[in-house]
Amino acid sequence: MKTVNNITQMYRSHLEPVDHLVLNLEMILAVSGMVFLLLNAVTFRYQGIQFISFHCLLSTPVLLFLILISRFLENVAPKCQLILKSYCLFALAIISVLILLDGVQLTPFPSIDNFLAHADSNLKLNERIIENWTITHPLLRQILKFAYHSVTAQWLLMPLILSFSRQRQKINLYLVASLLAFLFGSGMYYFFPSLGPATLPDGQHPVPASLVEAMVVFPTFHVMLATINIIIWRRACIVYFVPIFLINFTAVFATLLLGWNYGVHIALGVIMAVVAFGLAKRLLSSEQKAYLTAIPAPP
């Protein structure tokens, strides 16, 4: 126990308050996933898809060590230090999200797809007609798929892009907002799971039995991340903002046009992203104020 306390104290003294916030959020995501896994193991015993491997978990101590030693690069190579620390935090975020998905997919609650389809119907949205129209336009379909898959690439490249731009102070804001979005989205899907329009009768795409049993589809995450991408760059130079806005705006509606999301999904994803971003700003501001207050005044 004394060793654990010493390690904890060392991390607190060598890391910035915003880093503590990021690591705490990552721990919350990972612990939540473990709780869901344990709950399933002792009760429902559903079979799901394994998102994370044991080898990934073994990399956690290495990443924490790299975050710790990155502090010593701050005065020598500040940009390299920022990139190293950011990518280690992002790697830990990926691990925590995968643990969370391992647990969330094993939800015991029934699917709400029929409710979502009915809600879209009231909004005059018909996923079948929309998807069939998209299929008749192959070039548009490829553009939509490219925009959709680019969201993940943007998330992975964002620390590098922000580090070499004037937006580098927003790296932690971007990561905290993303983690909160993952937490909100996973909680929503655990208690109100849905598999998307493809699982409804006469769906265009066959759905594997394991997928239906595990309830493992989280397409709204792309909507949330795309929305956060737009928000984080909203005050950037127009040369950066316009292409980022266009590709992420396209990605948001690609989920509907490709038949992967309901209209209600998209609206909820955008709202949750805005809430996550606003909460992230408030948390980071509070953390920074607490840090400045704790610094003793000069004699």
Report whether 78 contacts 12 (CB < 8 A). Answer: no
Alpha-carbon span 259 to 252, nearest angstrom: 12
196: left (phi over 0), alpha (psi -120 to 50) or beta: left
In tens, the pLDDT along 143-179 reads: 999 999 999 999 989 888 887 776 667 888 999 999 9
Q: What is the mean pLDDT of residues 46-58?
A: 86
DSSP string, 77-119: -HHHHHHHHHHHHHHHHHHHHHHHHHHHTT--SPP-HHHHHHH
Please tell me which of 2-11, 167-176, 195-204, 260-269 the model is most confident about, judged by mean pLDDT. 260-269
Q: Specify the pLDDT at position 296.
A: 43
Distance of CA 210 to the CA centre of its chain: 23
Whether pTM exceeds 0.75: yes
Distance of CA 275 to the CA centre of its chain: 14
Q: Specify the pLDDT at position 290.
A: 60
3-state secondary structure at position 16: coil
Cα separation of the two ends of the chain:
37
pLDDT band at 198 (very low <50, low <70, confident <90, very high): low
Q: Specify the pLDDT at position 14.
A: 65
In tens, the pLDDT along 69-114 reads: 888 888 888 888 888 999 999 999 999 999 999 999 888 988 888 8
Which has the minimum average pLDDT: 149-153, 172-176, 192-196, 203-207?
203-207
